[in-house]
Each structure stands twice: as C-alpha cells, then as structure tokens.
Amino acid sequence: MNRDWSTLWPILWESFGQTLQMVTVALLTGGLAGLALGLALYVTRPGNLLANRWVFGTLNVLVNIVRPIPFIIFVTLLGPVTLQVVGTTLGTEAFIFPLSVMTAFGTSRIVEQNLVGIDPGVVEAARAMGASPWRIITTVLVPEALAPLILGYTFLFIAVLDMSAIAGIIGGGGLGNFAIVYGYQRYNWAVVAVTVVVIIAIVQLAQLLGNRLARRALHR
C-alpha cells in the first residue's frame, strides 16, 4: 500500500526533525567528549606538553579497539549499557546513546590529527611565558587549530548523519529510516529519491557553512 504525498510529507518532516535531534545531541555530547579525548591523546603523546606513556598508551589502544567496530554491531553490543543509561534499548532516544559514544571516539582522532599540525614552537613560547598546561590547551592549542578543527567537525557532522541512517534497526526514526520504511520496503523509489535529495541538501549546507567559518578562523 503506497500512501500518497499528502500523508508522506508530515512523516518526512518528522523524520527530518528526528535526524536533526540525533545529529545535534551526538555532536554536542560526543563531539565535546571527543574534543577532550583528542586533546588528552595529543598532550600525553611522548614529547608533548603532559607526556605520559601509560595514559597515552591506554587511550590510544581504547580508541583503536572501539573505532573499527562496525557501527551497526556497536549499537547492539552497547545495548546493556544503553539500557542502564537511557532506560530502554528501543527508539530514537536509545539510538542517540551509542551514536554519541561512537561520535566521541571518531572525534578524538580527528581532533588529535588536527592538533599534530600545530607548530610546537608556539607551545614552547607559551611555556616560556609561564603559562600552565590548562591555559595552553585552552588559549593556544584550540585557537591555533581552530580552522582545521571546524573543517574536522564539518566532516564529523556528515559522518554522524550517515551513522544516524541505521537508527531503524532499534526502532529509531530519522531520514534514513523513513527512506527504508516508506521507500525501499514499499518499492516507492520517489520517496528514496526525495530523502536522498534532502540529505544532500543538508550536507551541502553544512559544508558551505563549515568552509566559511574555517576561512574566517584562518587569519591570513
């Protein structure tokens, strides 16, 4: 039974809202946690500001273990924890938890990579002025890497949008679920096409915004 567009539009609209909710919450919580984890990876790296072989080694291995797990499997693996934290393993809310955790791990590597590009000389200069490690992290490392970080987060936004498409496997909503349930499963290719167009539009907009902000952050 193919519904007509007058009933589909409101569902698409609702799915769009759910996707936005998933991506926003994951980026805010996971993105922030990932920033902290990435900074920790960078500063504890041998030879850096707070070099600590054990802390770095532990974090590094942890990230390397989690990141390669296919997300669809990760969602089910994390089920028991999700139940503890969210109270249920079903629905959009329950999906946001594993999404945020995976976002944090993904973000950490992107943050770390962007910080590696910072000239160690500016860190040395700040140290020579008597700045504390915390001050160096907040007033040197993050501002100096801001432009690549903005581009990194733009990339992440798109990756999280991608991950959010499988929310349906645990009964979550969103655009991906919409395209599968109302399009693919009912042979309504128009629904799939429209959803893809919406997703492409979101991605284009995000990339445009990211590029603009990054250019402004780059004082050249």
Partner 1 sequence: MTDDDARPAGDDPHPAIELRGVSKTFGEGARAVRAVDDVSLTVRRGEIFGVIGYSGAGKSTLVRLINALETATGGDVVIDGQTVTGLPERRLRDVRSRIGMVFQQFNLLSSRTVAGNVGYPLRVARWKRADRERRVAELLDFVGLADKAKAYPGQLSGGQKQRVGIARALAASPTILLADEATSALDPETTREVLALLRRVNAELGITIVVITHEMDVVRSTCHRVAVMEHGKVVEVGDVYDVFSAPRADASRRFVGTALHDRPSPDALARLRERHPGRLVTVGVREGASTGTELFRLLREHEVDGAVVFGGISEVGDRPFGSLTVELVGRADRVALFLAELGRHADVVDLGTAAHPLDDPRTLLGGRS
Site string for partner 1, 99-138 (x = CB under 8 A): --------------------x-xx-xxxxxxxxx--x---
Smaller CB separation from partner 1, 86 or 131: 131
CA distance 15 to 188: 17
CB 105 within 8 A of CB 112: no
**Residue 52 Cβ vs partner 1, minimum distance, rounded to whole Å:** 14
Rounded least distance, CB 43 to partner 1, Å: 14
Q: Taking Cα atoms as reference points, which of 13, 35, 18 lies closest to residue 161?
A: 18
Site for partner 1 in 138-177 (CB under 8 A): 139-140, 143-144, 146
Q: Residue 48 has what DSSP assignment?
A: S
Told to check if 217 binds partner 1 by CB under 8 A, we report yes
- Nearer of residues 76 and 138 to partner 1, judged by Cβ: 138
Q: How many residues bind partner 1 (CB under 8 A)?
A: 21
Burial annotation 1-11 (CB, 10 A radius, 16+ → b, else e): eeeeeeebeee
136 vs 180, beta carbon nearer partner 1? 136
How far apart CA 44 and CA 57 sit, in angstroms, is 9
Neighbours of 138 (CB within 10 A): 13
Is 215 an interacting residue with respect to partner 1 (CB under 8 A)? no
* Residue ranges that bind partner 1, judged by CB under 8 A: 119, 121-122, 124-132, 135, 139-140, 143-144, 146, 217, 219-220
